[in-house]
Amino acid sequence: MKIDLHIEGERRQRAIQRVRERNIIIPTFAQMKDPTLIPNKIKESLKPVGLWDVNPRNLFRITWKNEPVPQGGLYHGVNFIELPSSLTGTEARVIALVGKWFPTGAHKVGAAFGCLVPRLVTGQFDPTTQKAVWPSTGNYCRGGAYDSALLACESIAILPEGMSRERFDWLAKIAGEVIATPGSESNVKEIFDKCWELRNSGEDLMIFNQFDEFGNYLWHYEVTGHAMEEVLQKVMGPRDTYRGMASATGSAGTIASGDYMKQLFPGSKIVASEALQCPTLLENGFGAHRIEGIGDKHVPWIHNTKNTDIVVAIDDEAVVNLSRLFNEPAGRSYLVKKGVPEGIVSQLDLMGFSGISNVLSAIKMAKYYELGENDIVLTVLTDSMELYGSRLREMHAEFGEYSETDAAAHFARYLKGQSTDNMLELNYTDRRRVHNLKYFTWVEQQGKTYEEIQDQWYERDYFSDVQKQVPEIDALIEEFNHDVGLVK
């Protein structure tokens, strides 16, 4: 399988013209991995620009390495946090990459970039005539609408009506159009239905479906994968071993970083997590849940199921209660009393709901494999509590003041008491069972063919062919920038 990179000459010319008029320069994957490659002139121009500003130079902030400031920051190392065992209840070292410091407050701007930019620089997507459609459970359409605005493309964001208020309020200002589909987090089918409606409407659009776009897979494989590698280089002592990573599979983009890491550390593991209230991977299940961003009731087309070692389902009750423990004053002071360093407690708002779920998945992984103090497990905090303030207020209104008794109960039950329940280590047949589930979404409903689904399982190079495409895409970006003529 390869991302289609054929050139459409005339459309590409129109894209070049548009990009030149708007003073846009597009970063390469190499620059997103390593911002030291970004020319000083561009760095200078970033100084007066806020992290979330709709300014084309913020394309150069699609990186894990932004300085953690809302205004005028440049670059440093990868943003990450190591969680102590006083919090996690495991001796293993649990380390999480921090997504809050991407523009929009979530790393999905990178996934969206990975989908849009190859189409733009080849001329397959024409920003002068087409609209970019971003179907998502939240952050991907925020990222897509934002990237579109930076790249002078019109956009349509699609997300379920039940997602948090913050997402809608912000999108209303950035996207050309916002479409709310019925249901909540796990109603992905309704999003796909809306896409078909749009396709059939005759409007000139291109749908960037994160669930089957390999640009999403590739961005995480390359950029998030390298960020993980760098974190390890920084923190790993001579006696330490990297044991693997845990990630929810919303679109199964983030988990592609595990493929990269497994190539570097062949003994490492990949843990895919989902909500217990919608255990699709674990038991072909379905249901509604509150871990915003991780969708489900289907297996994304881009999920490399052959490489998944464990599936784990996380109770959304644990996630919402821990969000209170981590953010309510009584929760924080209880954690300090229990010996969690204040410097860590004050940063617990770096975890959005799916981040908490990912950390719990990492803890369960550590317990399952009986990991100790020299074992490292990585995970990812896609977004932060910045996007869930309204949820905290809703819980406050519904359940009242958060007390020390609540804190003690939640700490004991959901952190110290976290067990290895709702986990399944996958053997070959289990992996194929998860892969086979793709049939019902992708072949029956979404137009993939029987041959494609067979190839995905039986063709040895299916995913590795995509992984090799970064140099080709970077060359196309450089050529495009050159033809635009703004980079000297």
Contact positions vs ligand PLP (CB under 6 A): 106, 108, 136-140, 248-254, 292-294, 352, 354, 382-383
- Alpha-helix runs per DSSP H in 83-224: 85-88, 108-122, 139-150, 165-174, 188-200, 214-219
- Shortest separation between residue 247's beta carbon and ligand PLP, angstroms: 7
Question: Nearer Cβ to ligand PLP, position 56 or 293?
Answer: 293
Question: Nearer Cβ to ligand PLP, position 248 or 345?
Answer: 248
Question: Nearer Cβ to ligand PLP, position 103 or 138?
Answer: 138
- Shortest separation between residue 233's beta carbon and ligand PLP, angstroms: 23
E-only strand ranges, 66-106? 80-83, 93-98
Residue 378: CB atoms within 10 A of its CB come to: 29
Locus of tokens 């999003």 = 191
Calculated CA dihedral for residues 73, 76, 79, 82, nearest 10 degrees: -130
Locus of tokens 């994304």 = 300
Specify the pairing of strand 80-83 against strand 93-98.
Answer: antiparallel
Question: Nearer Cβ to ligand PLP, position 273 or 481?
Answer: 273
- Shortest separation between residue 141's beta carbon and ligand PLP, angstroms: 9
Whether residue 350 contacts residue 100, with contact meaning beta carbons closer than 8 Å, is answered with yes
Rg (CA), the chain: 21
* Cα–Cα distance, 477 to 29 (Å, whole number): 9
Closest CA to 220 of 386, 355, 33: 33
Question: Nearer Cβ to ligand PLP, position 57 or 107?
Answer: 107
- Shortest separation between residue 414's beta carbon and ligand PLP, angstroms: 18
Map residue 159 onto helix, strand or coil: strand
Question: Nearer Cβ to ligand PLP, position 38 or 246?
Answer: 246
- Shortest separation between residue 293's beta carbon and ligand PLP, angstroms: 2
Question: Nearer Cβ to ligand PLP, position 185 or 375?
Answer: 185
Question: Nearer Cβ to ligand PLP, position 387 or 470?
Answer: 387
- Shortest separation between residue 320's beta carbon and ligand PLP, angstroms: 14
Question: Nearer Cβ to ligand PLP, position 120 or 291?
Answer: 291
Specify the pairing of strand 177-181 against strand 241-248.
Answer: unpaired
* Cα–Cα distance, 100 to 352 (Å, whole number): 9
* Cα–Cα distance, 21 to 290 (Å, whole number): 43
- Shortest separation between residue 212's beta carbon and ligand PLP, angstroms: 12
* Cα–Cα distance, 55 to 470 (Å, whole number): 25
Residue nearest to ligand PLP (CB): 293
- Shortest separation between residue 172's beta carbon and ligand PLP, angstroms: 18
Close Cβ partners of 419 (under 8 Å, ≥ 6 residues apart)? 364, 367
Q: Which amino acid is at 263?
A: Q
Whether residue 139 contacts residue 382, with contact meaning beta carbons closer than 8 Å, is answered with yes
- Shortest separation between residue 379's beta carbon and ligand PLP, angstroms: 11
